[in-house]
């Protein structure tokens, strides 16, 4: 019993021990000053320079229907053209003659049909004669449409306003039927395709503020504004402006 009381007194004295002044000074020397900062989340703007390609939303590829030798080329790639302009000639003289023949035949066939209708009304011909004249007129009109398509292809007439994107023919070249000749694109609205490297498409967010490599977004599109474009064989150099969470 006396031994137990002695142990309790020793423990009580140890528990009530107060550090000395020297011990306090030693603790102060080992202390490291710290501060706190309140974090905030906000949008940011990131600029980058990427390479891409400009293409027209509306494009038209001209073809030569009948083919033949290339007689002349009046435009080059990059030229601005207006609807109905002839960009070149491919066996154009023969196509013009064929068109005139088809036009005259259609005119004669129509006049014959109108004459047959007049004779039917006066009782001087049969209905079957009128029907045959009508059929001949329709066939002549169909041939005229074909001849017009051949002439349009031979003169390389553009159906839209725009710029010449591509030229597929060379002077004095012998072209095959249905061969492409030019591609024209409207320039009032353009499609701009810009390639962004994979490591630049890391997600920036509150959970990933620095865009860790390997953190990829499932979005396929990036919101951006084109700041600058330079024409060089229809390639562009653009600066993309993206906003924090939208950047992918």
Q: What pLDDT score does 18 carry?
A: 56
33: in domain: no
pLDDT of residue 76: 93
Residue 40's pLDDT is: 82
Q: Which two tokens stand for residue 149?
A: 């398509």
Helix or strand run (H / E) with residue 136? helix 127-155
**To 10 degrees, what angle do helices 92-121 and 127-155 make?**
160
Domain that holds residue 155: 58-185
Residues 198 and 98 in one domain: no
**174 shares a domain with 119:** yes
Chunked into runs of 10 residues, the chain (248 residues) has average pLDDT values of: 48 52 68 79 74 80 95 94 96 96 97 95 93 96 97 96 93 95 86 72 48 46 58 39 35
pLDDT of residue 23: 67
Q: Report the alpha-carbon distance of residue 210 to residue 200 in Å, rounded.
A: 11
The CA distance from 146 to 143, in Å, is: 5
Residue 77 shares a structural domain with residue 139: yes
What pLDDT, on a 0 to 100 scale, did the predictor assign at position 43? 77
pLDDT of amino acid 95: 97
pLDDT at 36: 82
| 141 falls within a domain | yes
Shared domain for 113 and 196, answered yes or no, is: no
CA 70, CA 174: separation in Å to the nearest integer? 6
């Amino acid at each position: 019993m006396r031994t137990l009381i002695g142990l309790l007194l020793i423990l009580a004295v140890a528990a009530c021990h107060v550090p000395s002044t020297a011990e306090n000074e030693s603790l102060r020397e080992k202390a490291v000053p710290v501060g706190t900062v309140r974090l905030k989340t906000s949008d940011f703007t990131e600029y980058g320079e990427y390479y891409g390609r400009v293409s027209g939303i509306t494009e038209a590829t001209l073809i030569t229907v009948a083919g033949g030798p290339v007689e002349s080329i009046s435009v080059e790639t990059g030229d601005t053209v207006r609807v109905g302009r002839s960009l070149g000639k491919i066996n154009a003289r023969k196509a013009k003659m064929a068109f005139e023949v088809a036009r005259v035949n259609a005119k004669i066939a129509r006049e014959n049909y109108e004459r047959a209708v007049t004779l039917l009304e006066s009782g001087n011909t049969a209905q079957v004669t009128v029907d045959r004249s009508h059929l001949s007129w329709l066939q002549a009109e169909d041939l005229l449409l074909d001849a017009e398509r051949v002439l349009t292809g031979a003169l390389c007439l553009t159906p839209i306003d725009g710029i010449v994107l591509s030229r597929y023919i060379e002077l004095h070249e012998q072209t095959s039927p249905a061969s492409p000749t030019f591609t024209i694109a409207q320039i009032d609205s353009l499609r701009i395709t810009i390639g962004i490297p994979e490591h630049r498409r890391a997600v920036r967010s509150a959970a990933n503020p620095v865009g860790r490599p390997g953190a990829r977004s499932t979005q396929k599109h990036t919101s951006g504004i084109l700041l600058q474009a330079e024409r060089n064989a229809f390639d562009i150099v653009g600066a993309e402006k993206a906003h924090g969470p939208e950047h992918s």
